[in-house]
Structure 1
């Protein structure tokens, strides 16, 4: 009798360099690829609207790739363990293979499923498809997790040469188990398949209209973007990656999050392309470090890593007028507004601008970083719990390797430095397009005549600044000093 293995896809939506797929093919005659839609199991961090849009199109692309090789993707909906158990009973599968996820709720769920299935005599194997290193592989000399990136990355880079070469996708896949159709249909009366549209991943209101202009979800889109980056932009990455008006970054973050491409693919491309790509590979290191932190300090998705910030005097309650102006790109601070509008329009924001808008929210508006992290979670196509948490905690000053709280990004100076010709602001804030460069990043400083000539009426065509940057900076520093003094007294006592 032919042996059957279930391949449980999660955030590894590709066929190339997929360790769970390789392991299943090595030992079993038939393969049953399945994706289980169980968003409630990710609570309180169930995927946001932009992520669901990407997931819908990525699942469709994966199914196409499977069908090209003689298989297809089964879509189920419900409790993951119950679906797997029913699928095992329907298909007589004797093994389940998957690639690991590292969020706290995912680890707890997967451990429970592995324990239950093994107790039933089912072989269960999990593999690493999404990281260069497992979170537990890089430790300090005293076997502790790292809390400083530079030390973490020094230890990791010493082992980069040991990273295996990515494996190609198989040309042909084995058939589905007997009794399961190669076309869409129902597996059994008790285990109906779900058509992709029935999962409800796409928005009911067409706010995503522009997403398809910017993105091609799926493994083919990931590989195309990787080739384009290393053919056109990688050689200038270290110079132009901070300039939001230039297409100087890879924009591979969403492809990496959904596992449409392997980090080993990126490392191999960097090593195989002429030039110095250390800065790009270092960004892969930050991604590894973020997962390392979340794995070892799982509370940090909700709570500050630095307990001193447990008592920081954030605004409470949060004034809706401040939060909504930030969310809608109507703060009257051009670089902030440009970034927030780019996010809403495209589901993505330039990395430097992410830091600047996060600094403005947490330090100038004194709104908790968790509020900003939630907004990013819902609106970013590349929303990743580890990266999102690390980025917001770093900017707020409460995390590992944190920017000191007194490091407050000035959005005017940042705009003048990294968008000196104003291409980024003019694109996303077209009402300011005619302002001279001298006043573009601070239109409230422009003389009335210049504003009139440029068609700008503050308070009408473009908002007055939501807050005074200098005043709110001083207030933030005063609160920070108060927090430090309180912490110092507590430590002495």
Structure 2
């Protein structure tokens, strides 16, 4: 019998359109899926780590339906993967590529160790549609602006998604596995887990259903409704894409079919998929976007970096007195996600009205988002702050009051997430007080606060700092 193949599972919790799994099955021998809890997993924030645990549990069940199982191990990949190869007699290890710098360095070390053992080690595409090193300008450089990037890839061929294997050949003896219960990936969520859980759409089948429902009934009005936070007008697929419960190629081909059928909004959906690709393209070529100002001249800008300031605390707690900001921050705490229009508003308010460093917001989202994605989170924050590629100009300061009048005219969004001003608050607004830490000592009976920084005053302060910058 052919020796086993280890398939190292990472952010790709699906069986369809999974090149590494398909290649392992095609080899003809036993297939041993393994997930490794290493430092990169331990460094995840509370919400994404909890969501990962849910995803792994669901994925393990889907493997069992195929006659397989998911082996869990913890430790340094450079030691654990080679040790598991020796333990199982595997002569090949397959995985799908990651693109953040820490994962890239880890994977290179693992691949080198396996080659020294004369074990086949192969990585596959799958988390992206266009490998970052394959998209170049005519001058052979990487793209720094989204629109030319979109134009360069919009007509490219994207491989047709692979079908899920009907079964995964099992080894005669399975290696021992650790347990998700012992890992306790959700412990940092505390009581918030029970509040957020009903908003989770878990697993590959749910992701496909989301995509199908969006393209069947919502994509026609997507150009308009995607900006209305009080409406369910988006695909909501970011949660599933972040953990690979659906592939971007599956979304792309479905979107292309919708476009060919003449459905308005389909091309905009495709552009959003490419915006995600652009974020990874930038992270690959300029990994500093994760930790430092992408535009290096912004290092001199006088942002506040003290998270202990009362203004920062009010922003995190959804108590700024600015309804659009507070509603969005509370949506985040109850659902683990935030409408994209809300993300732009809260980011602009933090970095401009409050003059706080975008890193404070990036870290808060990293802790609170169940759809956290390293590339998209970093690019989104730097885009809003003005320090990133293809950024909104710093002097463009969103007015959160007029934005609310424009995008939440009937206050559907605000009334869903803010309880203090309403006699009969929405259940989701009340759920916020069940999710937050008790030490915040907040209640739905509290008076709604006055603005900590009035919009006009914050805008003037931001523009003054910009005009007097030393770069």
TM normalised by structure 2 equals 0.92
Report what 1:17 is aligned to.
17
Report what 2:65 is aligned to.
68
Q: How many residues align?
A: 446
Whole-angstrom CA distance in 1 between matches of 2:305 and 2:40: 30
Whole-angstrom CA distance in 2 between matches of 1:316 and 1:248: 35
Whole-angstrom CA distance in 1 between matches of 2:109 and 2:305: 38
* CA displacement at 1:212 relative to structure 2: 2.1
Q: 1:55 to 1:42 in 2, by over 3 A?
A: closer
Report what 2:408 is aligned to.
419
Report what 1:353 is aligned to.
342
* CA displacement at 1:223 relative to structure 2: 1.2
Whole-angstrom CA distance in 1 between matches of 2:28 and 2:195: 43
2:285 to 286, 293, 296: 296
* CA displacement at 1:203 relative to structure 2: 2.5
1:171 to 166, 169, 175: 166
- Structure 1 segments of 4 or more deviating over 6 A? none
Q: Secondary structure at the match of 1:233?
A: helix
Cα RMSD after superposing both structures? 1.6
Report what 2:383 is aligned to.
394
Alignment gaps of 5+ in structure 2: 425-444
Check whether the contact 2:307–2:313 (CA below 8 A) recurs between aligned residues: no
Alignment gaps of 5+ in structure 1: 181-186, 436-458, 488-493
Q: Secondary structure at the match of 1:165?
A: coil
Q: Secondary structure at the match of 2:223?
A: helix
Check whether the contact 2:384–2:391 (CA below 8 A) recurs between aligned residues: yes
Whole-angstrom CA distance in 2 between matches of 1:268 and 1:82: 39
Whole-angstrom CA distance in 2 between matches of 1:69 and 1:147: 43
Whole-angstrom CA distance in 2 between matches of 1:351 and 1:433: 25
Report what 1:371 is aligned to.
360
Q: Secondary structure at the match of 2:122?
A: strand
Report what 1:56 is aligned to.
53
* CA displacement at 1:318 relative to structure 2: 4.5
Matches within 5 A, 1:22-421: 22-38=22-38, 40-41=39-40, 46-159=43-156, 162-176=157-171, 178-180=172-174, 187=175, 192-203=176-187, 205-273=190-258, 274=261, 275-276=263-264, 277-421=266-410
Check whether the contact 2:305–2:357 (CA below 8 A) recurs between aligned residues: no
Q: Secondary structure at the match of 1:285?
A: helix
- Answering whether residue 451 of structure 2 is matched by residue 465 of structure 1, we say yes
Greater Cα shift, 354-363 or 63-72: 63-72
Check whether the contact 2:395–2:466 (CA below 8 A) recurs between aligned residues: yes
Q: 1:26 to 1:316 in 2, by over 3 A?
A: closer
* CA displacement at 1:80 relative to structure 2: 1.3
* CA displacement at 1:193 relative to structure 2: 1.9
TM normalised by structure 1 equals 0.88
